[in-house]
Structure 1
Amino acid sequence: MTSLRLKEYCEAEFENIDTVVSELFFVVRPKKIDYSTAELAAIAAFIHNYYNGIENILKRVLLSRKMAIKDAPTWHKDLLKSSLNKEVITNDLYETLSDYLSFRHFFVHAYSFNIHWKELKPLIDNLEDTLKKFKVAIYHFIDKTH
């Protein structure tokens, strides 16, 4: 895959992630702390979508460098670790994205009535800054390796 095509793919994914973030902040309101179970489930689904988009980009970037991720039960964790080891992302970004990966695992296995605002708030608070750093890291990696 050429650098241009990879960037186009990433731009399309980033547009999708930006849409998810916009929809998330349609539900999340400043200073609001009392959300219904349905609202919390929606917020959690948007955070899950956000991280799925990040994983889509990481998979494509690694595949473009012929660095395949093995199909294993731990592939989500392996993808993130490989992205760190191959210097796609920094250690700080790895640590932050690990929180979203942990939430992804929780979300997939949890009942929506077990989702609580106190677990979502730190992820929401870091979401936009994390996305900015992730975009910089991805485009930097593409520019230096392609």
Structure 2
Amino acid sequence: MINYEIFGDAILAELKKVGIAKDKVILYHEKAQQIQDEVYCYACAIHLFNFYVGCERIFKLVAREIDRYIPTGEDSHKQIIEQMNRPNKYRPALISEEVKSLLDDYRKFRHLFINIYAFELDEKKLQILINNLPKTHEYLSFQVYKFYDFLVELANASE
């Protein structure tokens, strides 16, 4: 049996780390613009990668503990986003279609980031991700907190 309180707290702890990654992207992006040093651009890329990986950690927690299924295989990263966008008999959808679409861009970046050299990153595409990051984080956070409320309801119902 799931302890919904502890599970919900684990999700919120991971969301906090996602927020730290977002803040670091913004910080290093500002420094990159001021100093014109590519090292800060690379730092932005690393933390954009961390932002997405943290989102996936939240999704995998839900997939493991509630859905009892974590996608595997070549397109598992895409599947986990789609899984979190669909309600099932155990839970409502965790993310909306809009958040799914926004996160898919970060998923694509994650794949690119681990498969190319940092100096090969497209700065224009990186800029788009950075510009969308505050909105993406805000929408994601709202939906994760809404899901947390669902978990609290489950915890109260099981008492």
TM-score range, shorter chain: 0.7 to 0.9
Paired position in structure 2 for 1:55: 56
Runs of 4+ in 1 over 6 A off after TM superposition: none
How far does residue 60 in structure 1 lie from its aligned partner after superposition?
A: 0.5
Unaligned ranges ≥5, structure 2: 88-92, 155-159
Residues 1:89 and 2:119 aligned together: no
Which letter maps to 1:14? L
C-alpha contact (below 8 Å) 2:60/2:80 kept by paired residues: yes
Give the whole-Å Cα distance in 1 for the aligned partners of 2:141 and 2:59. Answer: 11
Greater relative CO (CA pairs within 8 A, separation 6+): 1
Unaligned ranges ≥5, structure 1: none
Mark the structure with the bigger radius of gyration.
Answer: 2
TM-score (norm 1): 0.88
TM-score (norm 2): 0.81
Which letter maps to 1:61? V
How far does residue 65 in structure 1 lie from its aligned partner after superposition?
A: 1.2
Which letter maps to 1:120? L
Aligned residue pairs, count:
146
Paired position in structure 1 for 2:111: 105
C-alpha distance after superposition, 1:118-142 (max 9, x if no partner): 1111111111221121122122234
C-alpha contact (below 8 Å) 2:31/2:40 kept by paired residues: no
Counterpart among 143, 147, 151 of residue 141 in structure 1:
147
Comparing 98-107 and 28-37, the one that deviates more? 28-37
Task: Percent identity, please.
Answer: 23
